[in-house]
Amino acid sequence: MVSKCANPGCDARLHYFREGRLYQFETRSKTTDIWRADAGTGASVRQVRNYWLCGPCSARLALTFTPGKGVAVTPLSLASHACEVVSLD
């Protein structure tokens, strides 16, 4: 459960979803847990992680996910340039 702002420099606690922005990223991890993957194979497992930026932080920051690096707090101006436009045609 998300309990505080994802910005490491902010101590805001989550009380209501009406302020701020909720992010959800799908990640993959290796596991040998028999309940989540084939035993002993170290198969890749899909995981969904939730993050929240409070109102003041979400007004100037965004969260971005890069495979191999993870989630990062990025200024909004840089986050818009980090997104790639993908054609679904």
pLDDT in tens, 60-88: 999 998 888 888 999 988 665 555 433 33
Residue 46 predicted with pLDDT over 80: no
Give how many domains the chain has, as a whole number. Answer: 1
Please give the pLDDT value at position 85: 38
Residue 66 belongs to a domain = yes
pLDDT, mean of residues 34-38: 51
Strands 70-75 and 61-66: antiparallel
Residue 85 belongs to a domain = no
Please give the pLDDT value at position 76: 87
Quickly count: other Cβ atoms within 10 Å of residue 5's Cβ: 23
Residue 58 belongs to a domain = yes
Residue 70 belongs to a domain = yes
Please give the pLDDT value at position 56: 95
Q: For residue 25, what are the domain limits?
A: 21-78
Residue 16 belongs to a domain = no
